């Protein structure tokens, strides 16, 4: 099997042998991926000339219907995707569901937003502001679709969700998409796009896919295009500094890595529901996708007096996770996606041990339920403890993209918030506490450094949506080292693909515009 690219309205094979697609459970080569000779600039141009006008001619409701049709086409083939996710990403059935159903679910959410926006093609913000006496001259703000293409470059850990959460928002906004999945796990994205194209539910040029390195993509960007990237901070820097990205000045959104934290409130101790909820959340973070989630809890901040209790509870849980071949239904955690990721995770762990000692894990798991310990990319759930988080640097700065999290004590609420901010800007933080004053004050104190804050008390219990999970209705992205980007957030996500213009004129003219637009606050 060799993955092809879908560009300029047809499937095209790369000219070279390409990179192998590997089963990380046992090292078996499944196929290859290559886009040598596939013209990325032509792909963007085709999307701009063909898909763009088709989408812009449609209303939001019609574009929403397209998204619903894509979701239905994928749902019809849902079962076939789990096997691909298992073989190419080492996913358990649960891991695969997070990725696959997360993607399909996001498409459905944005399909509903399209229906709500109705038969309009632009959005008017509510209200006008008077700019002259007697209201003879006023201003309103309207959003219209950028006449470009969207280039979506995605990370390896979410080949489905990463593809569809970006594509759903762009297509609803009226912008055609050229998506580039990460090569190592591109099989799932490739199969899903193949199924959608075969279902014939999208106008020509609305969705293109480049499987492989993607020659000419960055060079092909033009003004009015949008570049949305998810991946490492290093690659983000390369993209930001690319000569044509600087020259053509497309919109850029970066979702990069992040040293997220969770905080146990000073009120919480063993026997309290919030204590157990935090332990459950951290354990889930270590387990799901073998810890390869950008929103994962990398630092666990606990009151100094609770360090022993939290350590014992987490070590107990981590030691009981069944690791191995996800084909075995008893397995709760599979391997990392590749040997390269395993190597990178071990190298990162080595750096964390400058600041912290390993409590559990720290190597290839001793016991595997299936899979090959040598050829596979397994990594034991690993808990570290950092006694002096003020002096430490690595634990606040190095993301080990695997099942690795570091426990650290805080002295008082202000210290907890200060340590959380040492992440330099993060995607998500959670607070587990029944002390409303502490929780509210801490949420406000950490907010400038975080894109999403989840606060859990005993009343919320298990009804929360999870520290790790990005939700279509809420913004996803974080400041600083997390990339400074923002995705999703319901209708807010449309802003990236639309231009807000202040229109100044007579109130009657503004009324005409408003009459042709959907009213919404983005």
Which residues contribute to the site for ligand NAP (CB under 6 A)? 153-158, 180, 182-184, 213-214, 218, 230-232, 235, 238, 255-257, 294, 399, 401, 427
Identify the CA nearest to 274 among candidates 313, 317, 308. 313
DSSP, collapsed to helix, strand or coil, labels residue 461 as helix
| CB contact set of 412 (below 8 Å; sequence gap of 6+) | 266
Residue 117 or 226: the one with the smaller Cβ distance to ligand NAP is 226
Distance from C-alpha of 384 to C-alpha of 363, rounded to nearest angstrom: 12
- Looking up tokens 């926006």 gives 117
Q: Give the shortest CB-183-to-ligand NAP separation in angstroms.
A: 3
Other CB atoms within 10 Å distance of the CB of residue 243: 9
Q: Give the shortest CB-427-to-ligand NAP separation in angstroms.
A: 5
Q: Which residue among the candidates 215, 255, 399, 486 is catalytic per the annotation?
A: 255
CA dihedral over 116, 119, 123, 129, signed as positive or negative: negative
End-to-end CA distance of the chain: 44
Residue 154 or 433: the one with the smaller Cβ distance to ligand NAP is 154
Q: Establish whether 79 is a catalytic residue.
A: no
DSSP per residue, 7-54: ETTEEE--SS--EEEE-TTT--EEEEE--TT--HHHHHHHIIIIIHHH
DSSP, collapsed to helix, strand or coil, labels residue 423 as coil
Residue 110 or 156: the one with the smaller Cβ distance to ligand NAP is 156
Residue 214 or 413: the one with the smaller Cβ distance to ligand NAP is 214
Identify the CA nearest to 208 among candidates 152, 135, 128, 271. 152
Distance from C-alpha of 408 to C-alpha of 275, rounded to nearest angstrom: 15
Say if CB 251 and CB 146 are below 8 A apart. Answer: yes
Distance from C-alpha of 19 to C-alpha of 337, rounded to nearest angstrom: 14
Other CB atoms within 10 Å distance of the CB of residue 445: 16
Residue 255 or 267: the one with the smaller Cβ distance to ligand NAP is 255
Q: Which residue among the candidates 4, 294, 399, 486 is catalytic per the annotation?
A: 294
Q: Establish whether 215 is a catalytic residue.
A: no
Distance from C-alpha of 270 to C-alpha of 272, rounded to nearest angstrom: 6
Run of H or E including 263: strand 260-264
Residues in the chain: 522
Distance from C-alpha of 226 to C-alpha of 472, rounded to nearest angstrom: 20
Residue 40 or 265: the one with the smaller Cβ distance to ligand NAP is 40
Say if CB 116 and CB 468 are below 8 A apart. Answer: no
Residue 201 or 336: the one with the smaller Cβ distance to ligand NAP is 336
Residue 63 or 180: the one with the smaller Cβ distance to ligand NAP is 180
Residue 12 or 369: the one with the smaller Cβ distance to ligand NAP is 12
Say if CB 427 and CB 260 are below 8 A apart. Answer: yes
- CA separation, residue 158 to residues 85, 89, 91, 101, 290 (Å): 10, 9, 11, 11, 13
Residue 73 or 167: the one with the smaller Cβ distance to ligand NAP is 167
The pairing of strands 251-255 and 475-476 is unpaired
Q: State the DSSP code for 204.
A: T
- CA separation, residue 359 to residues 312, 318, 319, 349, 392 (Å): 9, 10, 10, 13, 17
The set of catalytic residues is 255, 294
């Amino acid at each position: 099997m060799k993955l092809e690219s879908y560009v300029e309205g047809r499937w095209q094979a790369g000219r070279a042998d390409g990179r192998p697609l590997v089963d990380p459970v046992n090292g078996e080569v499944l196929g290859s991926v290559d886009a040598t000779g596939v013209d990325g600039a032509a792909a963007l141009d085709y999307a701009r000339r063909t898909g763009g006008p088709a989408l812009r001619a449609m209303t939001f409701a019609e574009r929403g219907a397209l998204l619903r049709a894509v979701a239905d086409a994928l749902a019809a083939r849902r079962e076939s995707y789990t096997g691909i996710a298992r073989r190419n990403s080492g996913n358990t059935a649960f891991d695969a569901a997070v990725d696959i159903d997360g993607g399909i679910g996001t498409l459905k959410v944005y399909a509903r937003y399209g229906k709500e926006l109705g038969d309009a093609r632009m959005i008017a913000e509510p209200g006008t502001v008077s700019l002259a006496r007697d209201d003879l001259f006023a201003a309103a703000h309207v959003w219209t679709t950028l006449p470009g293409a969207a280039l979506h470059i995605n990370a390896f850990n979410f080949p489905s969700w990463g593809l569809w959460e970006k594509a759903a928002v762009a297509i609803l906004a009226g912008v055609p998409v050229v998506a580039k999945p990460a090569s190592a796990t591109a099989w799932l994205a490739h199969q899903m796009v193949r199924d959608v194209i075969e279902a014939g539910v999208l106008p020509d040029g609305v969705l293109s896919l480049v499987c492989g390195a993607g020659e000419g993509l960055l060079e092909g960007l033009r003004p009015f295009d949008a570049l949305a990237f998810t991946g490492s901070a290093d690659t983000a820097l390369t993209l930001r500094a690319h000569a044509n990205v600087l020259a053509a000045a497309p919109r850029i959104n970066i979702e990069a890595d992040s040293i997220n934290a969770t905080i146990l409130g000073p009120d919480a101790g063993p026997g309290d529901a919030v204590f157990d909820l935090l332990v459950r959340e951290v354990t889930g973070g270590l387990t799901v996708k073998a810890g390869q989630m950008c929103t994962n809890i990398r630092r666990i901040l606990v009151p100094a007096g609770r360090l022993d209790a939290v350590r014992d509870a987490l070590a107990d849980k981590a030691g009981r996770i069944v690791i191995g071949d996800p084909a075995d239904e008893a397995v709760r955690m599979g391997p990392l996606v590749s040997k390269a990721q395993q190597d990178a995770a071990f190298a990162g762990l080595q750096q964390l041990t400058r600041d912290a000692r390993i409590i559990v894990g720290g190597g290839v798991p001793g016991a595997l339920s299936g899979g090959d310990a040598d050829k596979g990319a397994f990594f034991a759930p690993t808990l570290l403890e950092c006694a002096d988080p003020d002096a430490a640097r690595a634990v606040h700065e190095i993301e080990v993209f695997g099942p690795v999290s570091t426990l650290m004590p805080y002295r008082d609420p202000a210290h907890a918030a200060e340590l959380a901010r040492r992440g330099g800007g993060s995607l998500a933080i959670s607070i587990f506490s029944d002390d409303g004053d502490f929780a509210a004050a801490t949420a406000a104190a950490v907010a400038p450094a975080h894109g999403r804050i989840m606060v859990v008390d005993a009343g919320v219990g298990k009804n929360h949506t999870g520290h790790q999970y990005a939700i279509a209705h809420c913004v996803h992205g974080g400041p600083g080292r997390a990339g400074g980007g923002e995705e999703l957030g319901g209708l807010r996500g449309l802003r990236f693909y639309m231009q807000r213009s202040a229109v100044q004129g007579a109130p009657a003219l503004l009324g005409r515009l408003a009459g042709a637009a959907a009213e919404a606050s983005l």
